[in-house]
Structures are given as structure tokens and as C-alpha cells.
Amino acid sequence: MNAEKIELKGLFPEELAQHVSDMGLERYRTRQLVDWLYNKGVTDFESMTNLSKTVRAQFDEQFTLLRLNCVGELRSSSTDTVKFLFELPDKRLIESVLMWDGKRRTLCVSSQVGCPLDCQFCATARMGLIRNLTAAEIVEQVLYAQRFLRAEGDELTHVVMMGMGEPLLNFDQVIRAIRLINLDYGAAVGIRRITLSTVGHVPGIAKLAREKLKIGLAVSLNATTDEQRSEIMPINRKWPIAELLSAVRAYYDQVRRWVTFEYVLLHGFNDTAEDAYRLIDLMRDIPCKINVIPWNPIEDAHYERPPQKAIDRFVDMLSQAKLTATVRYSKGDDIAAGCGQLYWEMEKGVK
């Protein structure tokens, strides 16, 4: 029986070199593979034309070369956002969102198929968790976006782990993917240009701190009392706000990078002056910035987006308290690509 094939896009350079050596091939074959995968962007062994047919056949026998099948692509009317729907090898579907903002080209990637954490304002939560993604499946989302941009004479600059799923619940594969995305021989996205967003998985934050990666950390807070937060984010019942903020302080002490807190603004729920005052008190001793995100409506949800005056008042109160606070208006609302909207009915069958 043949041994199971190895997926190339999930391998570190030293692992790839070892496999090539074990095959009895010359060391320079590793460099050739890397060049074809990451610089030339090929998606099959037959395209590696400077390799002999014999070597190509050997690679094909030993390795797989993951290619996500893009079965849907939507561009927003403002043309600053594109959403990709990818079919995985097992026919499951995931999404990535590519955003243009000035000179920044940011890809929002998924880390799981679905999500198990049941945040009440988020569309992806309605799927439940189907499975974790492999490091290769995460990396390939980035490589696809690079190929897409390079075809337009452009380059990817930033990656955010803010798509489908909770990254810290797929810790090992996500960290492997981040390191691969950062490598010069890989996607070559600068480590400080990669951000991981979590709903507040406290053990995962502590574990991430021990990695000492200089990535950005974004924490989805969204409420200022445990009663509020537990209502919309069940994870708070396990790790309440005080415990979460303690983990964030410890993270900052080890990594020494400001943390971003995301605060989805829900009209009449967490957008009052009292909420703003409580948020100011919570944030005072944490080196952070706050992204206030007006809620993006999803089907059958009973929340409302606040009026513009309420949004402005909330942010002004934070700014007057000397907190760094900005409003993040989600891109791609018209194609359901904004924060919390990553959910396609196509999971039930591509339309």
C-alpha cells in the first residue's frame, strides 16, 4: 500500500528539504519546488517545466499540491472588496475577502469551516463547526489572493485571520500557516502585517503569547458587562471580561504590541453613554486601540444598526477620554462581505 501523500503547501523549508533528500534527489530540487510554488504560482507538477518528466513523476507520487477551487467571486459595487467562495477537496465551502484601502491590500482568511462559538450577531455561527482547516488550506487562500492581485499588477500587503472560525481553536494549524505566510520563500507577508482576531479564548491567548510572534492581536469584546457579553457571546460564560482582560494584559507584557479591541455597536444594547463610560474604565491600563464597528445586519437577527449620531457620539466619548478609537465601516456590505456576514447559503449547494 502506498504511503499517504504529503501536502507541499503545509511544509516548512527544512521539512521539504528533508523529504526531497529522502527521495534521493539533489538539494537544489527544493529551491526549484519553492520557486514554482511561491514565485511562479503554479498549481500542478506538469507546469514545472525545468524539471525532467522523471522528477515531476516522483514529486507527483510523493506530494499533493493543494488548489482551492474558486466557485464564486463577487465584487462590491464600490470595487474595493472582492469575496471569494472556495470549494475544499472534501467539497466543503469557505470564504476569503480581499479589500483595497489606499495602498493596503488586505486579505481576510478563514481558519475553520463554520464556527462553534455561537456569537448571536454573527452569521457564520449559524453554521456550527464543520471542521478545522489545515495549514495548507489557510496558506492557499493567501496564495490565491496573491495570484489574483499579481494578474492585475498589484501585491498583497496584509493578512487578517478574521474570516470564518475562531483561529485559536485551530491553534497548531493557524500558527503553522502564519509562519509559512511570513516566510520570505513563502507568501512573504511581514509578520507585523498579520493580525489574528479572537472572540476571547483565554487559554489560546496565553498560548499565543508564548509563541512570541509579533503579529497583531484583535479581541472581539462587544460589551462592557458580563451580563451583556454573555447574552451575545456565550464564550463569556466560561471566560468573563475580567479574566479576558487579564489575559490580554499578560499578552501585551510578553509581546509588547498594542492590542486592538473590536466593539460591534448594536443599537439600544451596547451603544449608550453608560456603555462608553464603562468601556473607558476597562481600557484605561491596556495599551490598545478600539475599532468601533457598526453592526452589519444579517437575516433573522433582532438587532439593529445604530443611527449615525449614536455612532459618532460613542466614538467621540472614547476619543475625549484619550483612547485611540476609530469607526471601522465594513467593506463589501452589498455582497455580504462585511464583518460577521461570512455565510453563504451555498453551503447547501452552490447556486
* Residues involved in catalysis: 95, 339
Q: Given CA atoms 145, 149, 155, 160 in this order, what sign does their dihedral have?
A: negative
Instruction: Report residue 155 as a C-alpha cell.
Output: 501585491
Q: What are phi and psi of 194, to 5 degrees?
A: -115, 130
Q: What is the dihedral of CA 235, 213, 197, 349, to 10 degrees?
A: -100
Instruction: Report residue 106 as a C-alpha cell.
Output: 488586505
Task: Using DSSP bridges, classify how beta strands 158-161 and 216-220 pair: parallel, antiparallel or unpaired.
Answer: unpaired
How many degrees, rounded to 5, is the angle at CA 205 between CA 201 and CA 206? 120
Give 182's contacts (C-beta < 8 A, 6+ positions apart). Answer: 188, 189, 190, 191, 194
Residue pair 110/135 in contact (Cβ under 8 Å)? The answer is no
